[in-house]
Amino acid sequence: MHPAPSVILFSVLSGAGFGLLAYLGFGFVHLYGWLAFLWWGLGYGLAIIGLFASTFHLGNPWRAWRAFSQWRSSWLSREAWASVATLLSCAPMALSDWLSLDLPRSFGVLGGVCALITVFTTAMIYTQIKAVPRWHHWITPLMFLTFALTGGAILAGQNGLAQLLCGLLLGVMLAVYRIGDGQFARRAQTLGSATGLGVIGEVTVFEQAHTAGNYLLREMIYVVGRRHAVKLRGIALVLATGVPAVLLLLPGIWGAGLAAVCHLIGALAARWLFFAEAEHVVGLYYGKR
């Protein structure tokens, strides 16, 4: 699948933002006054920048409000609802922390739950797509949630927890690669089965349906990236999990800051691979994957 920069940026930044909002909501960090304003602001900022970036890949972004209408069937619509619900439901707790209003923590817990639900809905947009076997697996939502919780923990200054989660994330990412690499084969679709011509004999592409490019080739059949996939996997694993876990040992805000930047860069690389390595079954008709 085509790795669109806007979508990669969206899902990584807003994922980390919603993760941070969850920790702030659940009350992991006790902040008051302007410090609370800054941290809640960071969570809101990341989430909103991410949501804003996601509209860049739309053909008609000014109609985006319509995306709220189909929550009964569409995960994308549910994501729109969940993100707005999170931004609204976190507000009382954020104000309370900032202005010392002493609202009960349950407000924050509600916001935190909404934040995690939002991350889940984002993941389900990909997980539901049967035509992309690599995504169509329960490990996909697990990966999105672990990324959000790890990024959020680093940003929330939960160093010990963040290091644990880095370890968990490493395991999840390895499982994602392990499972993902076998998913297309498990679908057991070939050019022969996709065309139904395999019953006659061995099917190969004689001539392409069109000599020029088209939307399908650009969007669904992205082959360039896979050559570097192994290298990039290593970089993503090290930057998203190993290096931040070590940097968090450094004292003070610098260690945490560097760890956050490093983790986000690793997460971006991992998310790029999430798209670039995903193969759509339509590639079979073109003899490409």
Partner 1 sequence: MTCLPVTTQKKLGLAIDLDTCVGCQACVTACKGWNDQGYGAPLSDQSPYGAEPSGTFLNRVHSYAVQPIDGLAQTINFPRSCLHCEDAPCVPVCPTGASYKRAEDGIVLVNEDACIGCGLCAWACPYGAREMDAAAGVMKKCTLCVDRIYNENLPEEDREPACVRGCPTGARHFGDFADPDSKVSRLSAERGGYALMPDLGTKPVNRYLPPRKKDQRSEASVLAPLLDIRASGFAGWLDRVLGKI
Binding region for partner 1 (CB under 8 A): 1, 57-61, 63-64, 66-70, 72-77, 80, 125, 128-132, 189, 191, 193-197, 199-210, 212-216, 219-220, 280-282, 285-286
How many Å separate Cα 64 from the centre of its chain? 20
Nearest CA to 22 out of 165, 136, 168 is that of: 165
The residue (of 160 and 196) whose beta carbon lies closer to partner 1 is: 196
**Which residue lies nearer to partner 1 by CB, 119 or 191?**
191
Question: Residue 247 CB, nearest distance to partner 1 (Å)?
Answer: 37
Measure Cα distances from 123 to 164, 207, 263, 274 in Å: 22, 37, 19, 11
- Specify the DSSP class assigned to residue 201: S
Rank residues 28 and 128 by Cβ distance to partner 1 and give the closer one: 128
Rounded to a whole number of angstroms, the minimum distance from the CB of residue 255 to partner 1 is: 39
Q: How far is the CB of 283 from partner 1 (least distance, A)?
A: 9
Q: Residue 58 or residue 101: which is nearer to partner 1 going by CB?
A: 58
Specify the residue, 2 or 226, whose C-beta has the smaller distance to partner 1: 2
Pick 76 or 265: Cβ nearer partner 1: 76
DSSP code string of 49-90:
HHHHHHGGG-SSGGGGGGGGTTTTT-HHHHHHHHHHHHHHHT
| Ordered DSSP codes for 74-142 | -HHHHHHHHHHHHHHHTHHHHHHHHHT----THHHHHHHHHHHHHHHHHHHHHHT-TTSTTTSSTHHHH
The encoded tokens of residue 27 equal 């009350």
In whole angstroms, the minimum distance from the beta carbon of 136 to partner 1 comes to 10
| CB of residue 140 to partner 1, shortest distance in Å | 14
Shortest distance (Å) from residue 82 CB to partner 1: 12
